[in-house]
Chains A and B, each alone.
Chain A
Amino acid sequence: GAGVSQSPSNKVTEKGKDVELRCDPISGHTALYWYRQSLGQGLEFLIYFQGNSAPDKSGLPSDRFSAERTGGSVSTLTIQRTQQEDSAVYLCASSLGGSSRGYTFGSGTRLTVV
C-alpha cells in the first residue's frame, strides 16, 4: 500500500483480556518496528523485524507482549492479560533494509485498558 496501515485505530479492552494489534507495512519494506508511546513519555522501542532474521525483542516490557511477522509482511503485536499500564498508543513503522533511515510510521493504535 501507499503507507503503513494499522488496525484498529482505537481499542478499548477490559483488564485481563488479550488484544491483537495489526500492522501492514509498505510493500517492499523489509524492516518493521513497533514502538509504544505513553502519555507524557517519548517513543519506547518494543521490537524490530528485519527480513528472515531473528527479531530484536529487546524492548518488549514483559512476557505478556509478543509479536510475529508472517511472510515478511503483516505483523501482529499481541498483549496478553492486559493491564492498565499497557494503555498507550502503539506505533508501527517500516523501512527499506536494516538502516534506520527512511522510517515511515503508521497512525497508531490507541489502546485503553479499563
Chain B
Amino acid sequence: SQELEQSPQSLIVQEGKNLTINCTSSKTLYGLYWYKQKYGEGLIFLMMLQKGGEEKSHEKITAKLDEKKQQSSLHITASQPSHAGIYLCGADGRGGATNKLIFGTGTLLAVQP
C-alpha cells in the first residue's frame, strides 16, 4: 500500500524566515493534496497538484510536485505566526479513481514572533 513520509516532523522558525516541508511517496502520485490543520479544527485545503513538475502558489505558500511524481514540497516565504499549525500531505494514489486519500504523519510548524 502507498505510504507518505513527511519531513521534518516539526519545525520552529522565526517570523519572516522561509521554510520548506517535504512529502515523499513510496509510489507514483496521481494527486497530491496539501492541507493545514490548526489545533482543535478540521483540515483546511491548501492546494492540489497532479502533473509532474507542477507548481502552484497561493499568497506566500508554494507547492511543487517533482517530475517523477513521487515527491512534493511546500514552501512558505516570509513566515508569519498565522502560518503556524500542522501541515499534512494527502495522496490520491490511483489516478483520481480511488475512494479515499491517505495522509502523511504531518509537520508541526511553530512561528516565533
Contacts and interface: CB of A to CB of B under 8 A. Distances in A.
A33 B100 contact: yes
Interface stretch (B38-46, B57-65, B75-83): B38-46
A41 B88 CA distance: 11
Given A42-B88, A101-B31, A101-B96, A91 B103 contact: no
A110 B102 CA distance: 21
Interface residues of A, number: 28
A107 interface: yes
Contacts of A101: 31, 48, 92, 96
B88 A107 contact: no
A103 B45 contact: yes
Contacts of A33: 100
Given A100-B92, A101-B31, A107-B41, A42 B100 contact: no
Interface string A33-45: 1010000111101
A33 B101 CA distance: 10
A108 B44 CA distance: 12
A56 interface: yes
Interface of A: 4, 6, 31, 33, 35, 40-43, 45, 48, 50, 56, 59, 91, 93, 98-108, 110
Interface of B: 4, 31, 33, 35, 40-45, 48, 88, 90, 92, 96-106
